[in-house]
């Protein structure tokens, strides 16, 4: 399993939880597996017992070789987790995973081309039956394997699975980055990795993977429509026979109100008294009226994908206020930066204002900026 983040070593969202807990569930079912991720600074300094391996790797990166090494630890009973580390460029030796509050790291294309190549080099040391890649950061591993099989003869018979956790993040980079991939220019076409004049890493995974999975059966259907397809709905409809939605699970050893030490009062399905206490505690902390009305909560990134339709034009949902507005104020500047960046990306994709608007923001975010 190749993933850009894995719990407990590095996490920005649900992808890390899935990669970390799914591997444990698979092991309990008798499967043998290993995990591969970048050696981020947070993993190196997180107090984990990482050991150097004898694996030294060299991968092509544009017109030069890029070197790296691999560290290892274990989770579960015997799941090896490999951490890819580069030498000389500090691709992952940074405070954040993908960027700062000012935007993505400008060398993200180079970072994850290196990671995708390096992950395949690790797997050459112990060939596997199935290679499962997650999101755009590792999608190129599948592309490289399928288009340059002679480089990876030990893996040529492996089947590939590509999981899309959020189609809104695609790894889109300008054409000048093409040289980093060391692929024939024939693959820079709409049939393969080209996307409105740019390179789309996630599209590459969708095109070349043997099977594609998403986080739920409903999401698998939604992303084949224009509203949630983010420009890739045509690719997904073409691959519809190979797209499968598998509902994300929850690790109840970690996420259970019966044992959660951070909530106001623990509770379970046979005694919901604690749930009412937790609700009152939340209302107090947010400065909301202590009413018995339904209280809706959502923990996620504050993006248009999550907030679309969350409130009616007058800022309410029926007769119940949406507490989401409470956090909008604090996120105003961040949203503003995201929308300005979205305008720049939209222009680079060549999409019109009418069609481009759906890719990046909605009326909820705009109303927030005006308020």
**pLDDT of the chain, 371 residues: tens digit per residue:** 999 999 999 999 889 999 999 999 999 999 999 999 999 999 999 999 999 999 999 999 999 999 999 999 999 999 999 999 999 999 999 999 999 989 999 999 999 999 999 999 999 999 999 999 999 999 999 999 999 999 999 999 999 999 999 999 999 999 999 999 999 999 999 999 999 999 999 999 999 999 999 999 999 999 999 999 999 999 999 999 999 999 988 888 888 999 999 999 999 999 999 999 999 999 999 888 888 888 887 777 666 555 555 444 444 444 444 444 444 444 444 444 444 444 444 443 433 333 333 333 333 333 333 33
CA atoms of 37 and 85, how far apart (whole Å)? 9
- Neighbouring C-beta atoms of residue 128, cutoff 10 Å: 16
Among 165, 194, 182, 130, which Cα is nearest to 13's? 165
Please state the pTM of the whole predicted model.
Answer: 0.80
Beta bridge partners of 68: 57, 86
Helix 135-147 / helix 201-208 crossing angle, nearest 10 deg: 50
Three-state SS annotation for 86-119 = ECCCCCCCCCCCCEECCEECCCHHHHHHHHHHHH
Among 75, 93, 81, which Cα is nearest to 37's? 81
Using DSSP's 3-state secondary structure scheme, residue 155 falls into helix
Q: Which ranges in 249-323 belong to alpha helices (H)?
A: 273-286, 304-307
Among 79, 14, 84, which Cα is nearest to 43's? 84
Please check whether residue 337 is in contact with residue 361, taking contact to mean a CB–CB distance below 8 angstroms: no
Q: Which domains are assigned to the chain? A: 14-245 (3.40.50.2000), 296-370 (no CATH)
pLDDT value, residue 304: 59
Using DSSP's 3-state secondary structure scheme, residue 58 falls into strand
Residue 226 is encoded by which pair of tokens?
A: 């224009």
pLDDT value, residue 363: 34
CA atoms of 336 and 332, how far apart (whole Å)? 6
218: which residues sit within 8 A by CB, 6+ positions away?
A: 245
What is the Cα gyration radius of the chain? 22
CA atoms of 58 and 12, how far apart (whole Å)? 28
H helix count then E strand count, the chain: 14, 15
pLDDT value, residue 306: 57
pLDDT value, residue 314: 45
pLDDT value, residue 303: 62
pLDDT value, residue 315: 45
Return the half-sphere exposure (C-beta side, CA atoms, 13 A cut-off) of residue 173.
24
Q: Say if residue 366 is exposed, middle or buried (CB neighbours under 10 Å; 0-12, 13-18, 19+).
A: middle
Residue 137 is encoded by which pair of tokens?
A: 């950061």
């Amino acid at each position: 399993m190749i993933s850009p983040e894995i719990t407990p070593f590095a996490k920005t969202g649900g992808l890390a939880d899935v990669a970390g807990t799914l591997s444990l569930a698979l092991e309990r079912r008798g499967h043998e597996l290993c995990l591969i991720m970048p050696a981020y600074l947070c993993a190196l300094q997180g107090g984990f017992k990482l050991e150097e391996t004898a694996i030294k790797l060299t991968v092509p990166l544009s017109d030069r070789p890029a070197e790296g090494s691999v560290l290892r630890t274990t989770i579960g009973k015997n799941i090896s987790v490999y951490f890819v580390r580069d030498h000389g460029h500090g691709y992952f030796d940074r405070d954040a995973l993908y960027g700062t509050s000012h935007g993505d790291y400008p060398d993200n294309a180079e970072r994850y081309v290196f990671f995708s190549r390096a992950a395949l080099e690790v797997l050459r040391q112990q060939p596997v039956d199935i290679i499962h890649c997650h999101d755009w950061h590792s999608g190129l591993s599948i592309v490289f394997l399928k288009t340059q099989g002679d480089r990876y003869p030990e893996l040529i018979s492996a089947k590939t699975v590509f999981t899309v956790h959020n189609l809104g993040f695609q790894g889109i980079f300008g054409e000048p980055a093409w040289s980093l991939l060391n692929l024939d220019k024939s693959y820079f076409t709409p049939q393969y990795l080209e996307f409105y004049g740019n390179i789309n890493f996630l599209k590459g995974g969708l095109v070349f993977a043997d099977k594609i999975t998403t986080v739920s059966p409903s999401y698998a259907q939604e992303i084949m429509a224009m509203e949630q397809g983010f420009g890739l709905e045509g690719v997904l409809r073409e691959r519809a026979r190979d797209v499968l939605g598998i509902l994300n699970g929850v690790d109840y050893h970690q996420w259970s109100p019966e044992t959660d030490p951070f909530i106001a009062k623990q509770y379970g399905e046979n005694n919901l008294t604690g749930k009412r206490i937790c609700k009152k505690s939340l209302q107090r902390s947010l400065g909301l009226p202590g009413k018995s009305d339904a209280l809706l909560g959502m923990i996620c990134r504050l993006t248009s994908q999550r907030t679309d339709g969350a409130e009616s034009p007058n800022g309410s949902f029926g007769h119940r206020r949406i507490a989401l507005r409470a956090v909008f104020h604090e996120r105003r500047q961040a949203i503003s930066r995201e929308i300005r960046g979205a305008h720049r990306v939209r222009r680079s994709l060549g999409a019109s204002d009418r069609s481009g608007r759906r890719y990046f923001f909605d009326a909820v975010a705009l109303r927030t900026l005006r308020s």
